[in-house]
């Protein structure tokens, strides 16, 4: 499944630069984890929306406090403004919970873990296919450790980098 026909080499057969390898890797993971990718993008867009809502809530709180202060100086009743501040505080708390829920749900998708597992299998398949001369030259444990580090870096810097919206 990992070495399917739509992997890096078949996406860009002639031009094989670093940028195209990264793009091919991202496209490969997107095709492999399509539903989780859409869910990941959805959950990563929520914190940005929550930031905008927080700014609106803060503006309303400041406006309400300013109006209440002016009303207090005039000797009026500020109970309505206190109720508005309470409502805005509840809205802020709900918004905070929504942002927290989005972070938890994104973590549950395990996009990096699935991609690491998939790429690790492909790397191990490739290292198993070493010729007998290369097999004698390179220590199997060292090849495995180097592959593991390369897989971790590739997934964290490319695939998970696609989900860094902020």
Q: What is the pLDDT of residues 62-118, one digit of tens each?
A: 999 888 888 888 887 878 888 888 999 999 999 999 999 999 998 888 877 777 777
Top-confidence residue, 147 or 79: 79
CB 57: neighbour CB atoms within 10 A?
A: 16
Q: What is the pLDDT of residues 22-59, one digit of tens each?
A: 777 777 778 888 888 888 888 888 998 999 999 999 99
DSSP 111-143: HHHHHHHHHHHHHHHHHHT--HHHHHHS-HHHH
d(CA 4, CA 150): 20
Residue among 30, 51, 36, 50 nearest 105 (CA): 36
Q: At what angle do helices 34-73 and 111-128 cross, to 10 degrees?
A: 150
Q: What is the pLDDT of residue 60?
A: 93
């Amino acid at each position: 499944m990992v070495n399917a026909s739509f992997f890096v080499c078949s996406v860009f057969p002639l031009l094989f630069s670093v940028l195209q390898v990264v793009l091919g890797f991202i496209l490969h993971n997107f095709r492999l984890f399509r539903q989780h990718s859409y869910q990941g993008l959805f959950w990563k867009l929520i914190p940005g929306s929550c930031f905008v809502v927080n700014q609106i809530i803060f503006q309303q709180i400041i406006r309400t406090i300013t109006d209440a202060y002016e009303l207090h100086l005039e000797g009026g009743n500020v109970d309505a403004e206190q109720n508005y501040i309470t409502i805005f505080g509840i809205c802020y708390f709900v918004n905070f919970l929504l942002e927290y829920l989005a972070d938890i749900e994104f973590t549950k998708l395990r996009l990096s873990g699935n991609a690491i597992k998939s790429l690790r299998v492909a790397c191990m398949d490739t290292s198993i296919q070493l010729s007998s001369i290369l097999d004698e030259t390179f220590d199997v444990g060292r090849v495995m450790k180097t592959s593991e580090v390369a897989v971790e870096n590739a997934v964290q810097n490319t695939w998970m980098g696609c989900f860094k919206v902020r």
